[in-house]
């Protein structure tokens, strides 16, 4: 079904100087011709399609997504992930109300599927035959899956030796053309941008692509629907800065336009504070925030963290990320790798949620606040509703857990009940 006139409700504009562009020209260029900043899609006025259909996953929000014909949708489907109340964790963290939005339950095991279903659908609408991304793992797995389903070619660049085994296996299985770059993620993205800027037939689908953000913003719509109100705090890991920008955009749209088709969700109320958590060895945003910077960051030239998904030193969406933090009254902070792996174990053993290391960074931050006790942030959070977006599935990176296994956690026994009885006694 073609949505006649839908285009008029959206615009493509520069995040910096607000110059506007034809939305369907995106892909011919990737940044503002005037000032070089990233572009964003903005809803000018609420669109409402007349013919209502039952749609799966996040495509129930199709009126808020800039796709002009639903025959172009490439979906597995994705979104409508579990929203888990975590009472055991809340007790230990000293929080009144704590929820995990488990994005690891998306089809390829991470939140990237929200962005890719929209990004690849748009690629089909714009008749692209090839897609490309640079990735620390999850983006490549997701783009590979959606491109194969769409029947188009997918090229991915990954930093050699720096991505989790499960993620590279996914990209191989989905049939992507994979190149391991001798360098880090930031180098890989630089190469991908150069290629796509020169070859207009390949669409770049990193999170600087604003259509990806339009998919990822739906996590905010779902949180408000599943909670029945706006949360007070949203804590999430930050790498390149796409996801926090997207979630913040989503909450602002809920506040301005409401949520289509929702029953009983209260979109009014204060917007949540966005809490950005990075890994200590790759924390340019957190360091900029702590230094009180608003208009720049100092990239980390040699980023290092074993939470490989967020091992990024030069986040492309730093400006959108700082805007989300400052506009919402949030914060940015970092945690050590040790704290991250302890938090991963904590969430799995207390709540039955196995998330990947990067996704445990926000939990590590909350544990750190609780342990430190009195701080203004913690005092304010204690009686509030806190939501952590856990971005990826722990099964993607099992080595992290297996590396730390103790002999008593994995014992060998002979195949008779008596020997086990002895041990159990």
Q: Which of residues 267 and 359 has its CB atom nearest to ligand F0G in the complex?
A: 359
**Which residue of this chain has its Cβ atom nearest to ligand F0G in the complex?**
392
Q: Which is nearer to ligand F0G, 57 or 241 (CB)?
A: 241
Pick the closer one to ligand F0G by CB: 125 or 333. 333
347, 360 contact by CB (below 8 A): yes
Residue (147 or 267) nearer to ligand F0G, CB: 147
The distance of closest approach from Cβ of residue 366 to ligand F0G in the complex, given in angstroms and rounded to an integer, is 16
CB of 377 to ligand F0G, least distance (A): 21
Are the C-beta atoms of residues 164 and 336 closer than 8 Å to each other? no
Dihedral sign (CA 318, 116, 1, 30) = positive
Residues that bind ligand F0G (CB under 6 A): 110, 112, 135-139, 207, 237-243, 309-310, 356, 358-359, 391-392
Give every CB contact of residue 79 below 8 A, 6+ residues apart in sequence.
57, 58, 59, 106, 113, 114, 117, 218, 219, 222
DSSP secondary structure of 172-231: HHHT-EEEEESS-HHHHHHHHHHHHHH-TTEEE-STTSHHHHHHHTHHHHHHHHHHSS--
Q: Which is nearer to ligand F0G, 267 or 393 (CB)?
A: 393
> Based on CB atoms, which residue is closest to ligand F0G, 137 or 166?
137
Q: How far is the CB of 269 from ligand F0G (least distance, A)?
A: 26
Q: Which residues share a beta bridge with 158?
A: 180
Q: Min. distance of Cβ 322 from ligand F0G in angstroms?
A: 13
CA end-to-end distance (rounded Å), the chain = 66
Cβ at position 280, least distance to ligand F0G in Å: 15
Secondary structure class of 69 (helix, strand, coil): strand
Q: What angle do CA 59, 64, 70 make, to 5 degrees?
A: 50
* CB-CB contact of 127 with 152 (8 Å): no
Q: Please identify, using beta-carbon distances, which residue of 205 and 265 lies nearer to ligand F0G.
A: 205
Of 6 and 193, which CB lies nearer to ligand F0G in the complex structure? 193
Kindly report the backbone phi and psi dihedral angles of residue 234, in degrees, each rounded to the nearest multiple of 5, phi listed first: -125, 120
Q: Name 132's bridge partners.
A: 155, 204
152 or 244, CB closer to ligand F0G? 244
Least separation in angstroms between residue 138's CB and ligand F0G is 3
The secondary structure of 90-109 as a DSSP string is HHHHT-SEEEEEEGGGSTTS
CB of 159 to ligand F0G, least distance (A): 10
- Closest approach of ligand F0G to the CB of residue 392, in Å: 3
Task: Provide, rounded to whole angstroms, the least separation between the CB of residue 363 and ligand F0G.
Answer: 12
Ramachandran class of 269: left when φ > 0, alpha when ψ lies in -120 to 50, beta otherwise: left
Sheet with 202-204, side-by-side order of all strands: 177-181, 153-159, 130-134, 202-204
Q: Where are the beta strands (DSSP E) in 5-88?
A: 10-14, 20-21, 39-43, 83-85
């Amino acid at each position: 079904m073609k949505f006649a006139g839908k285009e008029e409700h959206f615009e493509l504009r520069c995040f910096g100087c607000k110059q506007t562009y034809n939305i369907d020209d995106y892909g011919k260029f990737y940044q503002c011709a005037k000032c070089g900043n990233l572009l964003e899609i903005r809803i000018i006025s609420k669109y409402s399609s007349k013919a209502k259909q039952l749609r799966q996953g996040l495509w129930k929000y199709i009126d808020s997504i800039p796709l002009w014909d639903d025959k172009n949708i490439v979906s597995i489907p994705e979104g409508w992930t579990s929203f888990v109340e975590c009472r055991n964790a809340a007790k230990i963290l000293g929080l009144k109300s704590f929820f995990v939005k488990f994005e690891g339950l998306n089809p390829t095991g991470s939140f990237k599927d929200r962005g890719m279903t929209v990004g690849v659908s748009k690629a089909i609408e714009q008749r692209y035959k090839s897609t490309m991304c640079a990735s620390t793992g999850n983006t490549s797995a997701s783009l590979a899956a959606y491109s194969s389903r769409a029947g188009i070619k997918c090229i991915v660049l990954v930093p050699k030796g720096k991505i989790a085994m499960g993620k590279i296996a996914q990209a191989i299985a989905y049939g992507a053309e994979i190149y391991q770059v001798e360098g880090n993620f930031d180098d890989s993205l630089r190469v991908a941008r150069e290629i796509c800027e020169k070859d207009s037939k390949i669409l770049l689908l990193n999170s600087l692509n604003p259509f990806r953000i339009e998919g990822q913003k739906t996590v905010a719509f779902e949180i408000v629907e599943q909670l029945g109100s706006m949360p007070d705090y949203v804590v999430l890991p930050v790498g390149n800065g796409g996801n926090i920008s997207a979630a913040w955009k989503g909450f602002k749209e809920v506040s301005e336009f409401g949520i289509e088709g929702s029953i009983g969700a209260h979109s009014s109320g204060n917007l949540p504070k966005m809490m950005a958590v990075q890994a200590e060895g790759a924390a340019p945003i957190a360091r900029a925030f702590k230094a009180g910077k608003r208009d720049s960051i100092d990239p980390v030239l040699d980023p290092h963290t074993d939470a490989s998904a967020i091992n990024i030193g030069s986040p492309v969406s730093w400006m959108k990320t700082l805007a989300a933090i400052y506009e919402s009254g949030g914060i940015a902070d970092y945690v050590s790798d040790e704290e991250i792996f302890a938090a991963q174990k904590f969430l799995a053993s207390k709540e039955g949620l196995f998330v990947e290391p990067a996704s445990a960074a926000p939990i590590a931050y909350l544990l750190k606040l609780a342990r430190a006790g009195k701080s203004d942030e913690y005092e304010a959070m204690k009686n509030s509703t806190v939501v952590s977006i856990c971005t990826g599935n722990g099964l993607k990176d099992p080595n992290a857990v297996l590396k730390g296994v103790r002999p008593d956690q994995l014992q060998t026994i002979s195949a008779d009940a008596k020997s086990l009885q002895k041990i159990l006694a």
